[in-house]
A and B are shown apart, each in its own frame.
Chain A
């Protein structure tokens, strides 16, 4: 397969989020103000023209407000007729006079509405769509749609095949970036197309029974390295977002082309398939400019961006589809639980930094190569957490899928003064000296085979006082099993007669943001090869358990219904678990093996539902 597919989506949003804020500066709010509506439709028309000039077909996502606007309806019908654009639906852009009168709410986010209003809006807007166009939409979307909303739509409108169901890594970092006012707390989902689970839309479905019946796509295609320590809203297939991040000079934004090209490279890691979604709301191309940037540059950046896709299309390197066409293609060519992965390289910050992302129905994993290939983010999809969001639910605005490791939110390899941060790494010991592999910067290579994807971390050299050791690491992800085989091998030693200790460990916790959550009730256990299992219940008492010959170490985090375990492949390993304390609110499990030159520690790291 050699397929790079593009979805371009435009929406006639009559009260665009940003443009309206600008228009209302110093004025009393007036929803649907004439000049705002007119400008917004002009921008929509312009976006459509730019796409068509470049031979790209679009999906027009009709907003609630636009379903009451004759001009927007006529534009959609005309472009459908002339260019074959799909007329789809979105839950974005609900705010208008009709919505205010009917719902008496200023809520703009469908996923945050109380359930009764959500379901009412579904029927209301789908009925209106049918009244206007004479058919029901087959594509829909929002910034986020939880499983409950998707299931409800699919039950009542089974013709829906695809939805923009999340924004990749639009969570606490973006919230902070927006002065703590942009409530898209949606971390934890896939970065490219997936079939969402019926139980949880972030998670990739397990099988046909778990299939929600739609294909989900993220709101934009984002830079997988840029999002790790930055707000993702500056690094996506959205030129004006890149401008927001000031990664441009005059009207030059080479990074936007780099991003598209790196997504073409992603074919290498995904059996010849890659995907881009472009979705720029009209508020980003307002006549009065956006922040410091002039309208001229905003417009030119969009022309250049779609122009590049147009060139790629002419060269046969990208295929533009409508959303529904893409969902049909995906269903015919990809498995329900299709794993996704990518080795991503820095093309902006000027570093050697690389990261590797992997996701399937059991977990989403991020590996940071500059941390020696440490795992720095784990979302345990195996538990398929049922976490409905919106008013009236326990999660309310916090729609993220919880992590059990997040090295940036929760410390990682570097802590101030005490304790250990959340990370999955290994320590190498020689005598009284100890070095964590996360201190050894590296890069990676990719391999794949029947049922597995493998990341090989290029070997790193550790310098002890009297010994130099070269260590190789590999991760083998067995698809949809929840198992990762981790191998740490001593490749070279300055003194071949010496021995070192390899300590493969997981320091874990849970949460959706930077703050610690209660770990009381978690359990840690060490099972010896004799079958004896010792266990402790987490009470922040800094206790530990050990076994000299270990069969398995295990941690259960009931709050996220997750069990994480490590099993050695040899019988001469020691095992331990450590309870944290309140100033170091983590739990830790580890396996240790003493090895010489050529020796290795092989471990099966498993995430499963508890």
Chain B
């Protein structure tokens, strides 16, 4: 099997991300696949991006702007 390398984009393992660990993936050129050296995740770029979008669901106000006034008014 080929040597794993950092991919063109340095993705982090999505499953490690879910348990709050930043762990860089390696890319296997022959298999056209990313894999994690810590956990049992392997997959494609599309799968990484899909998992990232799930990860972001924890930030339900990720695109919401809270200003000084709205923060003061919030739940008081």
Q: Which residues of A contact B (CB under 8 A)?
A: 22, 25-26, 173, 176-179, 230-231, 244, 246-249, 252, 254-255, 257-258, 261-262, 264-265, 268, 289-292, 345-352, 354, 443, 445
Contact = CB atoms under 8 A, between A and B. Distances in A.
A289 B10 contact: yes
Interface in B1-18: 5-6, 9-12, 17
8 closest A-B pairs by beta carbon, nearest first, are A350-B60, A347-B66, A258-B66, A350-B61, A443-B75, A254-B65, A261-B68, A247-B59
B5 A26 contact: yes
Contact of A265 (B11, B60, B61, B68): B68
A244 B22 CA distance: 9
Contacts of A290: 10
Given A262-B71, A292-B10, A443-B76, A248 B62 contact: yes
11 contacts: A176-B21, A231-B20, A247-B62, A254-B64, A255-B61, A257-B65, A265-B68, A345-B71, A346-B61, A350-B61, A354-B75
Nearest to A231: B20
Contacts of A268: 72
A249 B63 contact: yes
Interface string B33-69: 0000010000000000000100110111111111110
Nearest to B19: A176
A348 B62 contact: yes
A291 B11 contact: yes
Interface of B: 5-6, 9-12, 17, 20-24, 38, 52, 55-56, 58-68, 71-72, 74-76
Given A179-B22, A254-B64, A345 B10 contact: no
B12 A179 contact: no
A262 B21 CA distance: 27
Contacts of A351: 60
Nearest to A443: B75
B21 A177 contact: yes
B15 to A, nearest CB: 13
B22 A349 contact: no
Given A258-B66, A264-B68, A347 B22 contact: no
Contacts of B66: 254, 258, 261-262, 347
Given A22-B6, A291-B22, 5 more contacts: A254-B64, A255-B61, A265-B68, A291-B12, A345-B71
Contacts of A173: 20
B38 A179 contact: yes
Contact of A345 (B20, B22, B62, B74): B74
B43 to A, nearest CB: 15
A315 to B, nearest CB: 11
Contacts of B67: 261
A26 B59 CA distance: 36
Given A247-B62, A350-B59, A443-B76, A177 B71 contact: no
Contacts of B22: 177-179, 244, 291
B59 to A, nearest CB: 5
A451 B58 CA distance: 40
B63 A246 contact: no
A212 to B, nearest CB: 34
Max chain A Cβ within 10 angstroms of own Cβ: one of B55, B58, B59, B65: B59
A445 B38 CA distance: 45
A246 B20 contact: no
A445 B52 CA distance: 36
Max chain A Cβ within 10 angstroms of own Cβ: one of B22, B23, B58: B22
Nearest to B9: A292
Nearest to A245: B59
Contact of A445 (B56, B58, B71, B76): B76
B9 A349 contact: no
B71 A349 contact: no
A246 B61 contact: no
Contacts of B59: 246-247, 255, 348-350
Given A246-B52, A249-B62, A443-B75, A177 B10 contact: no
Contacts of A22: 6, 10
A409 to B, nearest CB: 14
B39 to A, nearest CB: 11
A57 B10 CA distance: 34
A179 B23 contact: yes
Contacts of B65: 254, 257-258
Contacts of A178: 22
A543 B3 CA distance: 60
A347 B71 contact: yes
Given A173-B20, A231-B20, A265 B71 contact: yes
